[in-house]
Amino acid sequence: MKKLFTLILCMCAAALAAHAQKPDTTQAVVHYKFSHLRDTLKPNEPYTENMVLFLGRNASVYKSYDRKMQDAMMRKQIADQIKANAGAGGNINIKRGGPGITNNEYYMYPAQKKLVRKERLVNNYLIEEPLPVINWKISADTASFSGLKCQKATGHFAGRDYTAWFCPDLPFHSGPWKLNGLPGLIVEAYDTNKQVVFKFDGMDDASKLEKPAPGAGDGSTIQSGGMVVKMIGMEDANEDPGIISLPSTGIKTTEKEFTKLKEAMKKDPAAFMQSAMAASGATMRIAPGVNTNMKFQVANGPVINNPLELPEKK
C-alpha cells in the first residue's frame, strides 16, 4: 500500500506538465453511434455506445457521451445518500464503472502530429503518443450522410482494414477515435467485417452548446448537512463544451507506468482508490459527531477477445 501511494504521489507531481497545451475553441460537434464486437463468441451482441467529437481549428477531442450521463447519475447517487443520512452518519456506497463504458478520451493535435489519451483510473492520467499515420487511398465513390456529401477512402490501421467516408466541405483532419489524416472530417467509418463501426449520428452547431452556470464550480464537490465529498477524477463535470483543453488536474504518465496502475487497481480496488485520493489531497469533511463509512465498488470489466486494436499480422 505504501509503495502504491508513493507511485501515485510521484505521478501527481507531474500534473502541472499537462497545462502546456493551449486551449482551442469548439467550432462543431459530431455525434457517433459506436459499435464494437468485443466477444466473437456472441456475434449478435456487439457493444454499443454514444460518442461525441468536439472539433476546433487546431484540436479535437473524442469522448463518451454515455460516460458523462453515468457520471451525472453517480453524483446524484452520492448526493441522495448524503441527504438520506441527514447528518446521522451511515454508509456511502460509491459504484464506479459499468458494462464497459469508455473511460478514455482522445485529444488530437494534427499540426503537432500529436495524440494525447486521457485515461480515468480514479484520477485522470494523460498519455502522449504520436498521431497515427494512416496511408489512405481515396476513391471516386461518393455518398451522402444527412445532407453531408462525402467521399470514400480506405486504409489499414491497428490490424484492421477501414473504410472511411469524409466530407471535403468540412475542413477538419480529425475523426472518431484515432482515425485521422483525410482532407475533411471523417463522418463515418467501419472495418471490413463491420466488427468496429463509427456511425454518423448527427452534427451540432457549437454556438448552441450549453455553458456551465456561473459559480457552478467544477462539479466534483458534493456537500449537504455538514458533509463535503470531493470526487477526484471528475473535475471536468462542469467543463465548458465550447473549449477543447486537457484537464487541468491531468497527471502526465507513460504507458508503462499506467499499466502498473491498472494492475494495482485490479488487485485491490479499495486500496487503490484510497491511495489515489490521499495522494491527490482529496478530502471528505464531516460534521462533528457524524460517523460515515465509504465503500467502493468497481464493476467487472467486459469479456474482450476481439480488441479494438489488433496485432499486425507478420
- Its domain, for residue 277, covers 2-22+34-298
Output the pTM of the full model: 0.83
In a domain, 310, yes or no: no
pLDDT of residue 5: 42
Residue 14 predicted with pLDDT over 50: no
Instruction: Dump pLDDT digits (tens) for 295-313.
Output: 555 566 788 999 999 999 8
In a domain, 27, yes or no: no
Residue range 3-26: mean pLDDT, rounded: 58
In a domain, 196, yes or no: yes
Instruction: Dump pLDDT digits (tens) for 268-277.
Output: 877 877 777 6
In a domain, 215, yes or no: yes
pLDDT of residue 84: 72
Which residues have CB under 8 Å from 268's CB, separation 6+?
Answer: none
Nearest to 108 by CA among 55, 153, 161: 55
In a domain, 28, yes or no: no
pLDDT of residue 236: 64
pLDDT of residue 93: 63
Instruction: Dump pLDDT digits (tens) for 105-148.
Output: 999 999 999 999 999 888 899 999 999 999 999 999 999 999 99
User: Which residue did the predictor score with more confidence, 225 or 278?
Assistant: 278
pLDDT of residue 223: 65
Alpha-carbon distance of 57 to 174, in angstroms, equals 10
In a domain, 260, yes or no: yes
Residue 165 predicted with pLDDT over 80: yes
pLDDT band of 18, cuts 50, 70, 90:
very low
Instruction: Dump pLDDT digits (tens) for 205-262.
Output: 888 887 766 655 555 666 665 566 666 656 566 678 899 999 888 999 999 999 999 8
Residue 203 predicted with pLDDT over 80: yes
pLDDT of residue 193: 96
Residue 11 predicted with pLDDT over 70: no
pLDDT of residue 31: 98
Number of domain units in the chain: 1
In a domain, 130, yes or no: yes
pLDDT of residue 228: 61
Instruction: Dump pLDDT digits (tens) for 38-86.
Output: 999 999 999 999 999 999 999 999 999 998 888 777 777 777 777 776 5
